[in-house]
Structure 1
């Protein structure tokens, strides 16, 4: 299956931090595609080798994590019945993943088994990273649990327990332009009004870098030693972010699906929009996004493509 279509780069001429929230395509809350097995191998490796960095659950999140697993399992079995199957044994429900052979208990599990098992099972089944957002006594949502295996510039063990405001501290203009709107949006979200949004980054990969190191980026998307990347080594890294209020516990399950597109595979209209947007960024925004590493190469490649199209005409 081809990946679920990623939102195109818009080509905005003025830099602003926008929520760009839209109604969730509920039929495709979770998506599967041809990259499933390769990414599943990466997830398995990260959960084995870097578990403390990619998976953390605070004690108060145990019930929301369990509910998230139930929601994920029910959705996958209904949406992809040839790939996932639910069964019962005594008082327990189990989900079987026919692609990988994995089998996990969905209900009837012993809560004393540990805090992380339910959320781990959910992200082993899906292609999305999943986090649980809960409200604290001050009325702010915070990261109560997270299985973030494909991070960009952070790790779960560093930020578990952080509020949404703290999580976005490094993002230029986030607090000035959208912090209040984000808080209101999360507070108003209901189980019947799931939403989604998209964003993108530009990532540099090393020659022959493996998929694990490309997807797991806890430090930087643009390593400084790669100062002259080829177009095939410049990746447009897009995230489809989904927000669902869990009906039983009231927590929010936040999903992130990562898509990678090499610059030399980007459609011409999106390449033009990328060039337009990066020119609009103030210097401090460009520095935050890594433009000093890849910006000149993107513009050079854009000029080359424009020249080729003129010759063809």
Structure 2
């Protein structure tokens, strides 16, 4: 283990952080290393493997009903004739390709993101440009996860920790509302219809949830419903970051959005802070990443989308976690008993599909997070036990602590190795 830690670089540590917002900095930095037009600047031989993997992922997504146009060989996103993005790119006017007429969200299993490998924990860039058609997705978790998030929004003890809208963010929230509703209406027309009610207001009828939200942002009241309506329309969390020269002339600030499935931190503690403050605990951020990230935010054009993935494990069935998904160097973390865990209902491989794009009017950045919880038993049945063991044991020690590996690491390895099958806890019936 020590030799692995010695060989791991600081950049690999930065890329590995399980705290979602720091990963936004990594997406931004690594994408800045690409031409903002989307043309990849190959830096090592691993890029060809990454490109092949990206293509296979897109093809697999298409086979599940996510019929997006594949990126071209140069890595530029191909959608709406806007391969490079543009300052006047309008998300409300662009044509979105609809899914196949026979697409069934309830028969579309979650895409199997498995961003780990056997052997030394050596990270690649792991990001790609994607077409707009792949921005927001519908899978068989849609109804369950939007129900859970709606319940959070109706819980007075949780809503202020996950739903945010500053005064300065209203215009950006309106723009995101328009972009998201336009996308869902065009992409999934069999599930979202525009109807006019007796009050003369146009609504979007969500046939999956059998409920209505206002079509036009001007009809939404109170304004906090600009955020809350989106949590019922799309499954993804979304974070809006924008300039606020009165508070910080150099950096973007977290101004609004929904962070319903936060993994190991309280979003309220970082609301209305700049990117340097948010990344205060990330080693080397100020010296290695801050200037590059700020340049990327300034230079990237509306209409360009990027994606990456993040992963960890957890020994509970919670989607929203304020503290128990990460550890600290100065705390004693008690290891879970391998034999006492239910690996079908209690131990999960947690991954995130993260996207980033810039809005065209406000120039705000929107960071999307789609959360996947896969039972560790499923990973073993897929035949990927050795690969995941390699990813777990190959972590740097400090990274392992941050991801709370002392809690779940030994138990996961014992189960994946077949040395325990744990126990059954049938009373655990759903995610919380």
TM-score normalised per structure 2:
0.62
Matching residue within 100, 123, 130 for 2:209: 100
Deviation of residue 179 (structure 1)? 4.5
Residue aligned with 1:141, SS: strand
Deviation of residue 40 (structure 1)? 2.0
Deviation of residue 36 (structure 1)? 1.6
State the Cα RMSD in Å.
2.7
2:250 and 2:294 in contact (8 A); partners too: no
Q: Paired residue for 1:9? A: 115
Matching residue within 233, 254, 263 for 1:125: 233
Q: Distance in 2 between matches of 1:13 and 1:173?
A: 26
Q: Paired residue for 1:147? A: 258
Q: Paired residue for 2:319? A: 215
Q: Paired residue for 1:109? A: 218
1:231 aligns with 2:343: yes
1:75 aligns with 2:183: yes
Higher strand share: 1
Deviation of residue 78 (structure 1)? 0.8
Deviation of residue 271 (structure 1)? 2.9
Q: Paired residue for 1:294? A: 408
1:242 aligns with 2:366: no
Structure 1 203/146 Cα, relative in aligned 2: closer, same or farther at 3 Å? same
1:148 and 1:155 in contact (8 A); partners too: no
Structure 1 172/266 Cα, relative in aligned 2: closer, same or farther at 3 Å? farther
Deviation of residue 101 (structure 1)? 2.1
1:22 aligns with 2:128: yes
Q: Distance in 1 between matches of 2:204 and 2:212?
A: 6
Structure 1 19/142 Cα, relative in aligned 2: closer, same or farther at 3 Å? farther
Deviation of residue 281 (structure 1)? 2.0
Q: Distance in 1 between matches of 2:122 and 2:280?
A: 16
Matching residue within 117, 136, 145 for 2:244: 136
Unpaired runs of 5+ in structure 2? Answer: 1-106, 328-332, 420-432
Q: Paired residue for 2:95? A: none
Q: Distance in 2 between matches of 1:141 and 1:275?
A: 38
Matching residue within 133, 144, 153 for 1:47: 153
Deviation of residue 15 (structure 1)? 4.9
| More deviation, 162-171/64-73 | 162-171
Q: Deviations over 1:215-263 (max 9, x none)?
A: 1111222696771234332211111111121122211121111011111
1:43 and 1:149 in contact (8 A); partners too: yes
Higher helix share: 1
2:118 and 2:389 in contact (8 A); partners too: no
Matching residue within 301, 307, 312 for 1:196: 307
Unpaired runs of 5+ in structure 1? Answer: 306-313
| More deviation, 27-36/155-164 | 155-164
Q: Distance in 2 between matches of 1:203 and 1:234?
A: 6
Q: Distance in 2 between matches of 1:18 and 1:58?
A: 36
Deviation of residue 53 (structure 1)? 1.2
Q: Distance in 2 between matches of 1:185 and 1:102?
A: 39
| More deviation, 28-37/4-13 | 4-13
Moved over 6 A (4+): none
Deviation of residue 72 (structure 1)? 0.8
Query: How many positions carry a matched residue from both structures?
Result: 297
Residue aligned with 1:103, SS: strand
Q: Distance in 2 between matches of 1:171 and 1:204?
A: 25
Q: Deviations over 1:288-311 (max 9, x none)?
A: 111111111222223228xxxxxx
Residue aligned with 1:131, SS: strand
Q: Distance in 1 between matches of 2:160 and 2:122?
A: 35
Q: Deviations over 1:56-100 (max 9, x none)?
A: 111110011011111111111111111111235788542111111
2:181 and 2:215 in contact (8 A); partners too: yes
Q: Paired residue for 2:102? A: none
Residue aligned with 1:266, SS: helix
